Each structure stands twice: as C-alpha cells, then as structure tokens.
C-alpha cells in the first residue's frame, strides 16, 4: 500500500545495531517488490528468518478446464460442494495467465501458516467473520471486506463461524487505481475511498519460538510444505509500505450521474491483466428520461465476471445471491427482456456486487460444471 506504517519497536536508523533489553541482536529482513525498486518493509526478528529445517510434502494444484461453447454463462456458486479451511476449501472457477478465481466455503480455521510465493491474494468476504493473523500483525474481518494479502506475507486465517469467500490469486500486485492517486501516491478528493477507510495490521507480542514450524508455500503449480526453524511471527517491529490490508465494500462511495454511469466509475482495484469494480447501494440516474439499467454492450477486449453478493440485481433475471455471470469479450449482453424498460423511473438500488474484468480470455474450470445455469445463454430470447 502506498502509505507508510510502523508497528512495534524499530531502531532509529535502518541497517544499524538493534538489540533487545537483554542485549540480544535482532535480525533485520527487507521484504521488497520489483527487486529493490518498489514497495518494501523492514521487519525485525528475534531469530534469523532464513533458517529452514527442511521440506516435506508437495501438493499439486490443478487447473482443469471445463469445455463449453463460446457464450454467456451463469453459475450458482452458493451450491458449490466446498468445505475445509481457507486453502483446502478453494474451488477454482475461472482462470487465465493473470489470475485464478476461486470460491471457498470455509468451515474450519487454518492449523498451519501459509505464504503465497507466486500470487497476490484478494479475498472478498461474502459472509462470516474471523481474524487474519500475519507476520505483520493481525486484522479482523467480516462480511463485505476485501482482504489484500501481498505475496510473501506469512499468514493464517481463523474463523468464528462458517465463512464464504471469493478469492482471486493474481500474478501482479493488487493496487489502488492509479487514476485515484496523486503523484505522491495519496488518494485524491475524487477517489471513492480514502486512506482512512483502509485497515492495517496491529502487531501483538512476538512469538519467540525455535523448532519446526510448517509454512505451506504456494508455488505456481502446487503447495510446498516448508519447515521454518523459527516461528515467522517472532517480529518485534516493522515499518514501510508493504503489508496486508483490508477495505470494506460499503466504504466505497458510489458515483452517480443524471444518466447511466459506466463501470469505470465503480473501479475499486487495479492489477496486471484485470480490474475489480464494486457495485454498491446508490441512487439511480436523475435525468427525467434516464434508463437506469445498463445499455447493451460489447466489451471487445475484456471478459467480464460479476459476483452478485447481496441485494436485488435490477438488470438480471434468475440471479441469486452468490451467483456469478460470465460474459466473454465481444458478445453483446445487457438486461434480460423486461428489465431494460422496467428500470425506467426507478430511483435507487440496493445491491452489492464485485466485478472482475480481465484483459485476456478466461477459462472455465472443471468445478463450474455442477453449478451451471444451462438456461442462461438463452435468457435473452424470450419473455
């Protein structure tokens, strides 16, 4: 995140002697992006962070595709057969070279630490609540939160109740959109959210243990169990711009106009190869002849996924909570019959939805086969 944070104790100057009250030297670790040329944080450990005791099992992660003809699709993700912790419960839905989109119905806390070595994670909390424990400190989360976990952060998720998550693994960093930031990185006045809406980790007491600590490390094609020689949460302090963070979808202030506003006004995040938009409760267009429902459109350069989180979705028929629609690039789509005309004169909408627009074609994954709405491709053909 492009703003500075500090937690715990750090020395007054980087790369200098920093000792405990018992005169033990702390170990400094720089976690940095793009070599040494982008965001970074300095972490101070009780133990040397590079001690690896060994490696154990490797669990492959498959990306099996589901073959369907080219067309618009709708899946009922609430009906997925998913259970386990935040890692094991993941069902892959869509993917391309830039991202993987999973849904997870989590019914147990993680009993291990995890580090995504090759992807940044964006986790949208559909329902439930819990805590994200990390080597930068802890964050509580609940419904509507977007949890951003940059690669390299070591974490585990504990839940208080059954928790449903939409998860994106991204090959690039998840960022606030450039168009909202000034040249110093600060979110500007026209941004639909600001730094005050962003929650950052609170560091607790260090876990100063030595022994064997399993950290499951996500690599491009699987998960490697690695045994660390010191507990990765042995951190006495850190500072910098690199850490996990959370923002809630309800802190996104919608932009409205006299006529229909296009999806870019709903943009929440940017990443290499895709953007994420948040649709939230808002007043509709106030021109006397406005048509609030979206006009029919062909996005010839992007595939569109929409996850319908909560509320009533005025432009779609047959959609339920946790539905997900897929509209591939080049195919016109828009409101189903009756929805376009029916939106005239409507004053407001109460909805929460997450849209992911990708710049390369998506593959449908094998897990969508059992939750597919086979009527959807023909849903514009009749009343």
Of 137 and 335, CB closest to Fe ion = 335
CB of 371 to Fe ion, least distance (A): 21
Size of the site for Fe ion (CB under 5 A): 1
Phi, psi angles (nearest 5°) of residue 133 = -100, 125
In the complex, what is the shortest distance from the CB of residue 127 to Fe ion, in angstroms, rounded to a whole number? 25
Q: How far is the CB of 331 from Fe ion (least distance, A)?
A: 10
Indicate the residue among 165 and 277 with the shorter CB distance to Fe ion: 277
Residue 284 Cβ, how far from Fe ion at the closest point, in Å?
17
The CB-of-312 to Fe ion minimum distance in angstroms stands at: 18
Whole-number minimum distance, CB 307 to Fe ion, in Å? Answer: 13
- Pick the closer one to Fe ion by CB: 148 or 280: 280
Residues 317-356 contacting Fe ion, CB under 5 A: none
Q: Nearest-CB residue to Fe ion?
A: 304
Residues 265-324 that bind Fe ion (CB under 5 A): 304
**Minimum distance of Fe ion from residue 291's CB (angstroms):** 15
Closer by beta carbon to Fe ion, 47 or else 267: 267
The full 3-state SS of the chain, as one line of letters, equals: CCCCEEEECCCCCCCCCCECCCCCECEEEEEECCCCCCCEEEEEECCCCCCEEEEEEEEECCCCECCCCCCCEEEEHHHCCCCCCCCCCEEEEEECCCEEEEEEEECCCCCCEEEECCCEEEEEEEECCEEEEECCEEEEECCCEEEEECCCCEEEEEECCCEEEEEEEECCCCECCHHHECCCCCECCCCCCCHHHCECCECCCCCCCEEEEEEEEEECCEEEEEEEEECCCCEEEEEECCCCEEEEHHHCCCCCCCCCCCHHHHEEEEECCEEEEEECCEECCCCCCCCCCCCCECCCCCEEEEEEEEECCCCCCCCCCCEEEEECCCCCECCCCCHHHHCCCCCEECEEEEEEEECCCCEEEHHHHHHECCCHHHCCCCC
Whichever of 211 and 262 has its CB closer to Fe ion, that residue is: 262
Q: State how far the alpha carbon of 111 is from the alpha carbons of 108, 155, 172, 182, 213, in Å.
A: 9, 11, 27, 41, 11
Smallest distance from Fe ion to CB 304, Å: 5
The nearest distance, CB 365 to Fe ion, in angstroms, is: 21
- Which residue lies nearer to Fe ion by CB, 198 or 276? 276
Residue closer to Fe ion (CB basis): 239 or 304? 304
Comparison of 116 and 302: residue with beta carbon closer to Fe ion: 302
Convert residues 190-229 into a mask of x (bound to Fe ion by CB under 5 A) and - (unbound). ----------------------------------------
Query: Closer CB to Fe ion, residue 121 or residue 304?
Result: 304
| Nearest by Cα to 361 from 327, 332, 334 | 327
In the complex, which residues of this chain contact Fe ion (CB under 5 A)? 304
């Amino acid at each position: 995140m492009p703003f500075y944070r500090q937690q715990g104790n750090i020395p007054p100057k980087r790369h200098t002697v920093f000792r405990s009250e018992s005169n033990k030297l702390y170990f400094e670790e720089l976690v940095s992006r793009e070599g040494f040329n982008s965001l970074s944080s300095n972490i101070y450990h009780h133990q040397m962070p590079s001690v690896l005791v060994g490696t154990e099992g490797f669990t492959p992660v498959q990306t099996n595709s589901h073959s369907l003809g080219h067309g618009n699709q709708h899946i009922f993700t609430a009906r997925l057969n998913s259970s386990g912790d935040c890692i094991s419960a993941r069902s892959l839905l869509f993917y391309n070279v830039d991202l993987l989109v999973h849904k997870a119905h989590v019914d147990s806390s993680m009993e291990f630490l995890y580090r995504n070595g090759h992807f940044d994670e964006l986790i949208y909390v559909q329902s439930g609540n819990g805590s994200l424990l990390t080597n930068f400190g802890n964050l509580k989360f609940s419904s509507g939160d977007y949890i951003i976990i940059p690669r390299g952060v070591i974490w585990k998720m504990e839940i208080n109740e059954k928790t449903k998550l939409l998860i994106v693994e991204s090959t690039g960093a998840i960022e606030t959109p450039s168009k909202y930031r000034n040249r110093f990185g600060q979110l500007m006045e026209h941004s639909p959210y600001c730094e005050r809406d962003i929650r950052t980790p609170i560091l607790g007491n260090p876990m100063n243990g030595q022994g064997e600590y399993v950290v499951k490390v996500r690599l491009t094609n699987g998960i490697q169990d690695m045994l660390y020689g010191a507990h990765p949460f042995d951190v006495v302090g850190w500072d910098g711009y690199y850490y996990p963070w959370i923002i809630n979808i309800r802190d996104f202030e919608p932009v409205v106009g006299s006529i229909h506003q296009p999806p870019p006004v709903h943009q929440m995040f940017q990443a290499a190869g895709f953007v994420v938009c948040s649709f939230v409760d808002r007043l509709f267009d106030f021109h006397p002849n406005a048509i609030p429902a979206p006009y029919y459109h062909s996005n010839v350069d992007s595939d569109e996924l929409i996850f319908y989180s909560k509320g009533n979705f005025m432009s779609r028929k047959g959609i339920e909570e946790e539905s997900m629609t897929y509209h591939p690039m080049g195919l016109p789509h828009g409101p189903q019959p009756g929805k376009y005309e029916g939106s005239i004169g409507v004053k407001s909408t109460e909805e929460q939805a997450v849209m992911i627009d990708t710049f390369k074609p998506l593959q449908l994954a094998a897990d969508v086969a059992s939750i597919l709405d086979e009527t959807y491709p023909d849903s514009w053909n009749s009343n």
